[in-house]
């Protein structure tokens, strides 16, 4: 099949799924057209993160606490239903190697906040390893529509949309995405002077966004134990990066595997040194482009059916150090920890992008350790159609946990 025809088919699936969704606005947020088809380059009024001084942390920020507010700005052009306005906050966090980092969160104010405060973090399916794909930048260029926050704002809940990949655009790197998400919530609470002891919090996301939300839930007890996170709703969760790469390479969505490679390259200095030594010229070109101007749609179209492993000039690169160790560190739940957060997790039985057996194994491991998971697998659903099928249920789970109508589930 020619690439143009393939991508036309993909677009048709996206449109059909959105039309069939019980609440199309939820699916729009799930699939995030802004991140699929981002505005390219910078404009005079909205510079991209590499040219915007707002994204550069002040001297000495490394000594600040995680979640510290470094600077903020009012988003005067922000337009979204049920919102009284929004701010962007540069905050302190850490990267995958434990070094100080700074990222940006878009913090949305409801028109009629409830008391005590409730807050929902929606991590977007960015699925890209270039700064121009960051949610904060794309939200500014598109006036903020399509974040998926509208229904939560209508309930009086505060909204948080983190740049969960951090400043290095560490796509699919859990040890970056989890802390960046948690520290974004910390920053929002501090900025608005909300009561951290009473502010109830929900985490939600689908696909790449679910990856960040699930890692945030997994790390919440150790990284941000003071946060009162009472719910997570995640679907199509990428669990095992090695299996994800092997399943996707040479297929229609092999570009997502390429994004994962570039994300790991961005995140880890030892992996970067290894790949700089052994990447083929084609591999070097992929990494260079992936770090600068390739977002989700470009990754899918430019790298469909690409065989990823031959780009690394080694016989068995996934079993060589440091790739082997970094992949192991990015296995969700691979350290044996159990998520302390009541979680609604859902997956299409026929998911053609993110392996369902990996999600099955993760849920089994977590449930054996006492996790409070509600796991739903839908027959006949692939990765894209599952997003539409369960979008409303995931939203209702978060709202129900935050308003108390859904009790803490029993251990699964």
350-379 average pLDDT score:
98
pLDDT at 217 over 60: yes
Phi and psi torsions of 157, nearest 5°: -95, 140
Report whether pLDDT(17) > 70: no
Band the pLDDT of 146: cuts 50, 70, 90. Answer: low
Nearest to 384 by CA among 1, 18, 7: 18
Band of pLDDT at residue 76, cut at 50, 70 and 90: confident
- DSSP string across 321-342: TTHHHHHHHTSTTTTS----S-
Domains of the chain as residue ranges with CATH: 3-240+329-403 (3.40.50.1820)
Which residues is 312 bridged to in the sheet?
279
Q: Is the pLDDT confidence value at 161 over 70? A: yes
pLDDT tens, residue by residue, 269-300: 999 999 999 999 999 999 999 999 999 999 99
Which residues are catalytically annotated? 207, 351, 383
pTM of the model: 0.92
**27 and 392 Cβ atoms separated by less than 8 Å:** no
- Over 70: is that where the pLDDT of 302 sits? yes
Cα of first residue to Cα of last residue in the chain, in angstroms, is 44
Nearest CA to 406 out of 398, 200, 257 is that of 398
Q: Cα Rg for the chain, rounded, in angstroms?
A: 20
Distance of CA 380 to the CA centre of its chain: 25
Helix axes 281-290, 254-267, angle to 10 degrees: 80
Give me the pLDDT at residue 72, please. Answer: 98
Residue 254 clears pLDDT 80, i.e. is over it: yes
Distance CA 259, CA 256 (A): 5
The per-residue pLDDT for 251 is 98
Lowest mean pLDDT segment, chosen from 7-16, 105-114, 233-242, 286-295: 7-16
């Amino acid at each position: 099949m020619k690439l143009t025809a393939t991508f036309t088919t993909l677009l048709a699936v996206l449109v059909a799924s959105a039309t069939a969704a019980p609440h199309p606005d939820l699916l729009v947020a799930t699939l995030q057209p802004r991140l699929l088809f981002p505005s390219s380059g910078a404009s005079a009024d909205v510079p991209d993160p590499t040219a915007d001084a707002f994204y550069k942390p002040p001297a000495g920020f490394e000594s600040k606490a995680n979640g510290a507010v470094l600077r903020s700005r009012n988003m005067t052009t922000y337009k979204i239903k049920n919102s009284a306005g929004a701010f962007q906050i540069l905050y302190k966090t850490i990267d995958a190697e434990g070094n100080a980092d700074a990222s940006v969160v878009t913090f949305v104010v409801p028109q009629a906040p409830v008391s005590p405060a409730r807050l929902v973090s929606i991590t977007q399916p960015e699925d890209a390893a270039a700064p121009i794909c960051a949610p904060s930048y794309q939200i500014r260029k598109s006036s903020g529509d399509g974040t998926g926050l509208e229904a939560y704002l209508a309930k009086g809940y505060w909204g948080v949309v983190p740049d969960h990949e951090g400043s290095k655009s560490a796509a699919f790197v859990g040890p970056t995405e989890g802390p960046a998400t948690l520290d974004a919530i910390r920053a929002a609470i501090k900025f608005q002077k909300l009561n951290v002891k009473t502010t109830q919090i929900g985490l939600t996301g689908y696909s790449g966004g679910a990856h960040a939300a699930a890692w945030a839930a997994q790390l919440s007890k150790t990284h941000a134990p003071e946060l009162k996170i009472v719910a997570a709703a995640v679907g199509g969760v990428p669990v095992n990066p090695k299996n994800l790469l092997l399943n996707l390479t040479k297929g229609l969505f092999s570009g997502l595997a390429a994004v994962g490679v570039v994300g790991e390259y961005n995140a880890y200095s030892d992996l970067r040194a290894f790949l700089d030594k052994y990447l083929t010229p084609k591999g070097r070109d992929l990494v260079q482009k992936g770090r600068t101007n390739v977002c989700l749609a470009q990754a899918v179209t430019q790298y469909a059916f690409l065989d990823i492993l031959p780009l690394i000039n080694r016989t068995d690169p996934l079993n060589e150090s440091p790739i082997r160790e970094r992949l192991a560190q990015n296995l969700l739940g691979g350290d044996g920890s159990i998520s302390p957060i009541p979680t609604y997790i859902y997956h299409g039985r026929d998911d053609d992008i993110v392996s369902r057996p990996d999600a099955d194994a993760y849920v089994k491991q977590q449930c054996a350790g006492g996790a409070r998971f509600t796991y739903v697998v839908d027959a006949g659903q692939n990765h894209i159609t599952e997003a539409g099928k369960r979008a409303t249920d995931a939203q209702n789970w978060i709202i129900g946990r935050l308003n108390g109508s859904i009790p803490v589930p029993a251990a699964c």
